[in-house]
Amino acid sequence: SQTIHQWPATLVQPVGSPLSLECTVEGTSNPNLYWYRQAAGRGLQLLFYSVGIGQISSEVPQNLSASRPQDRQFILSSKKLLLSDSGFYLCAWSPRGLNTGELFFGEGSRLTVL
Amino acid sequence: KQEVTQIPAALSVPEGENLVLNCSFTDSAIYNLQWFRQDPGKGLTSLLLIQSSQREQTSGRLNASLDKSSGRSTLYIAASQPGDSATYLCAVDSGGYQKVTFGTGTKLQVIP
């Protein structure tokens, strides 16, 4: 069966520090990968998606970036965090296809920027 | 632009009651609709996926229906249990990897 792992679960970082959140998927090949952010009282916001190694599409202009160095690994990064980057970050995958298809989420990473 | 609404935002019911959660969307041109459950501080767990050609899907005590023409989906939970307490979100896929729109959820509390 397929599983998705996301870490760290909780992170407290000072403003201006770098960020790296990692996500890996097991039990499937060539998945579509996604990074979402969830703010309190608001719907999930898609940040990045990837349909293959090295292929990243950005949905929201910001100081975050994403990379996909391996087929089943997706990384969310920042060089300098802002207070507004605080939030709950969710990695997700869906089977390869022309559309999103069924989404499966990781456990999330809670980021607090102080 | 697709808009997804879930009303009510919160719901409290006694254990054993059957209940219906609602999801409305503005653009009926969808590929599928997915229902999720989210426990506090956790990720989303997929409950049911309904393709645009389907009218309903069932899994255990859960039944989800889809009426594209009216822009509505319902999630029916039979014989609710305290363990069903969570936030339930629906997500509408309008086509393309970037065109999944989430509702803000209904927070369900089942009282023992």
Q: Give the model confidence (pLDDT) of B41-93 as tens digits.
A: 999 999 999 999 999 999 999 999 999 999 999 999 999 999 999 999 999 99
Give the closest-approach CA distance of A23 to chain B in angstroms.
13
Between the CA of residue B112 and those of A92, B13, B18, what are the distances in Å? 33, 9, 14
Q: What is the C-alpha to C-alpha distance for residues B6 and B90, in angstroms, rounded to an integer?
A: 8
Task: Kindly indicate the confidence band of residue B95, based on its pLDDT and cuts at 50, 70 and 90.
Answer: confident
Q: What is the C-alpha to C-alpha distance for residues B50 and A9, in angstroms, rounded to an integer?
A: 30
Selected residue of A100, A104, A111 to mutate for chain B interface (largest B Cβ count, 10 A) = A100
Name, in order, each residue with C-beta under 8 angstroms of A100's C-beta and a sequence gap of 6 or more. A32, A94, B31, B93, B96, B97, B99, B100
Please determine, for residue A104, whether its predicted confidence score (pLDDT) is greater than 70. Answer: yes
Name, in order, each residue with C-beta under 8 angstroms of A48's C-beta and a sequence gap of 6 or more. A34, A35, A56, A57, A58, A59, A64, A66, A76
Please determine, for residue B38, whether its predicted confidence score (pLDDT) is greater than 70. Answer: yes
Name, in order, each residue with C-beta under 8 angstroms of B60's C-beta and a sequence gap of 6 or more. none
Contact (Cβ atoms closer than 8 angstroms) between residue B87 and residue B38:
yes
Q: Is B45 on the interface with A (CB under 8 A)?
A: yes
Nearest to A105 among B44, B98, B103 (CB): B44
Q: How many helices (H) and strands (E) does chain B have?
A: 0, 11
Give the closest-approach CA distance of B111 to chain A in angstroms.
23
Give the closest-approach CA distance of B34 to chain A in angstroms.
7
Q: Which of B14, B27, B34, B17 is nearest to B75 (CA)?
A: B34
The pLDDT > 70 percentage for chain A reads 96
Q: Is A35 on the interface with B (CB under 8 A)?
A: no
Give the closest-approach CA distance of A10 to chain B in angstroms.
10
- Pick the residue from chain A with its C-alpha nearest to B51: A101
Burial B52-66 (b: 16+ CB within 10 A, else e): eeeeebeeeebbbbb
Sign of CA dihedral B80, B86, B92, B95: negative
Q: What is the C-alpha to C-alpha distance for residues A90 and A108, in angstroms, rounded to an integer?
A: 5
Q: Is A48 on the interface with B (CB under 8 A)?
A: no
Contact (Cβ atoms closer than 8 angstroms) between residue B48 and residue B64:
yes
Nearest to B43 among A43, A59, A108 (CB): A108
Name, in order, each residue with C-beta under 8 angstroms of A61's C-beta and a sequence gap of 6 or more. none
Q: What pLDDT is recorded for position A74?
A: 98
Q: What is the C-alpha to C-alpha distance for residues B51 and A96, in angstroms, rounded to an integer?
A: 16
Q: What pLDDT is recorded for position A98?
A: 66
